[in-house]
């Protein structure tokens, strides 16, 4: 039987340490093809390139792995892989990461790592976004490699619900071993932003986004709690952002007839 076809992407760029670790792990599970940004794309969310040229170059970065770098976003990379690089072939699995930094809670909305995984889910492919809660470019990944491999193996074996991608976050390397895996919901938290006002050497004002992450969630079934307590968090995500619970209230409480007759 042929090996599973695995597409690897990320948002930290094709030369990041995290993607090298991910590629090495995936090589044990199947045939790997890489399509990743040529530079860091953190915080790009699900942006796609529509007003600029989109470039794609084949690179010899990973041993025995066909790889391409793109000038586009992580979502662009998955689209380019599907329509151009893979052509008539369909990936059995799409993995994104391993991201340098957390993508828990509200960060999933801004995450380029998860946008690649969600794009894969939109196209109907089993997809996973992996993130390590350590922003260092020299982050230690050895304690998470076995988890990455086993989670990926199980998705290949069991499949995924249609339209769902897994958001997997790992705690940083600590003195104690990881306690296990928690299937979680997204924590109710947000960034409380501020803008640092600065001036360039010519006296022109510019702004630098700053702020603090605030967790309002006191539950023990969410991803923030899992990471804080040294568990791997696994959150199933989908691209349907409909607030289904609000539909009945809008139908019952709003006077739509008066608006319709304007």
Give how far Cα 38 sits from Cα of 34, 57, 70, 125, 154, Å. 12, 9, 5, 24, 30
* Sequence ranges of the domains in the chain: 5-188+218-260
pLDDT score recorded for residue 99: 96
Q: Which residues on adjacent β-strands are paired with residue 126?
A: none
Say if residue 238 is exposed, middle or buried (CB neighbours under 10 Å; 0-12, 13-18, 19+): middle
d(CA 169, CA 175): 18
Grouping H, G, I as helix, E, B as strand and the rest as coil, residue 224 is helix
State yes or no: pLDDT of 258 exceeds 90: no
pLDDT at 152 over 90: yes
68 contacts: CB under 8 Å, gap ≥ 6: 34, 35, 36, 56, 57, 58, 59, 80, 81, 85
First CA to last CA distance, the chain: 64
For residues 96 and 130, the answer to whether their CB atoms sit within 8 Å is yes
The pLDDT, as a whole number, for residue 219 is 92
Beta-bridge partner residues of 56: 70
Q: Quick check: 48 pLDDT over 80?
A: yes
Query: What is the pairing mode between strands 205-215 and 164-170?
Result: unpaired
pLDDT at 1: 60
Protein fold of 5-188+218-260: Stationary-phase Survival Protein Sure Homolog; Chain: A, (3.40.1210)
Given a cut of 80, is residue 173 above it in pLDDT? yes
200-217 pLDDT per residue, tens: 999 999 999 888 888 888
Q: Closest Cα to residue 43, out of 209, 196, 198, 188?
A: 209
> Is 180's pLDDT higher than 90?
yes
Tell me how far CA of residue 185 lies from CA of 51, 182, 236, 254, in angstroms.
36, 10, 8, 30
Mean pLDDT of 64-71: 96
Predicted confidence at residue 215, as pLDDT, reads: 87
Report yes or no: 94 and 78 within 8 Å, Cβ to Cβ: yes
Mean predicted lDDT score pLDDT of the chain: 94
Mean pLDDT of 114-138: 95
The pLDDT tens digits of the residues spanning 73-98 come to 999 999 999 999 999 899 999 999 99
């Amino acid at each position: 039987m042929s090996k599973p076809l695995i597409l690897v992407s990320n948002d930290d760029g094709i030369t990041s340490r995290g993607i090298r670790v991910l590629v090495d792990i995936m090589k044990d599970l199947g045939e790997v093809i890489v399509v990743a940004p040529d530079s860091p794309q953190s915080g790009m969310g699900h942006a796609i390139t529509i007003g600029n040229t989109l470039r794609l170059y084949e690179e010899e970065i990973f041993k025995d792995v066909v790889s391409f770098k793109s000038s586009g976003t992580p979502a662009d990379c998955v689209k380019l892989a599907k329509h151009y690089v893979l052509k008539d072939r369909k990936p059995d699995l799409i993995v994104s990461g391993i991201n340098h930094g957390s993508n828990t809670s509200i960060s999933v909305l801004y995450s380029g790592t998860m946008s690649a995984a969600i794009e894969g889910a939109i196209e109907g492919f089993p997809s996973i976004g992996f993130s390590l809660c350590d922003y260092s470019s020299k982050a230690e990944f050895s304690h998470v490699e076995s988890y990455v491999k086993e989670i990926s193996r199980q998705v290949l074996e069991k499949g995924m619900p249609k339209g769902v991608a897994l958001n997997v976050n790992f705690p940083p390397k600590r003195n104690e071993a990881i306690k296990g895996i928690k299937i979680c919901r997204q924590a109710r938290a947000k960034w409380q932003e501020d803008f640092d006002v600065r001036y360039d050497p010519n006296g022109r004002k510019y702004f630098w986004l700053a702020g603090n992450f605030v967790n309002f969630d006191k539950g023990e079934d969410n991803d923030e709690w899992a990471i804080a307590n040294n568990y791997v968090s696994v959150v199933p995500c989908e691209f349907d952002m409909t607030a289904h619970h609000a539909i009945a209230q809008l139908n019952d409480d709003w006077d739509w007839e008066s608006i319709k007759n304007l």
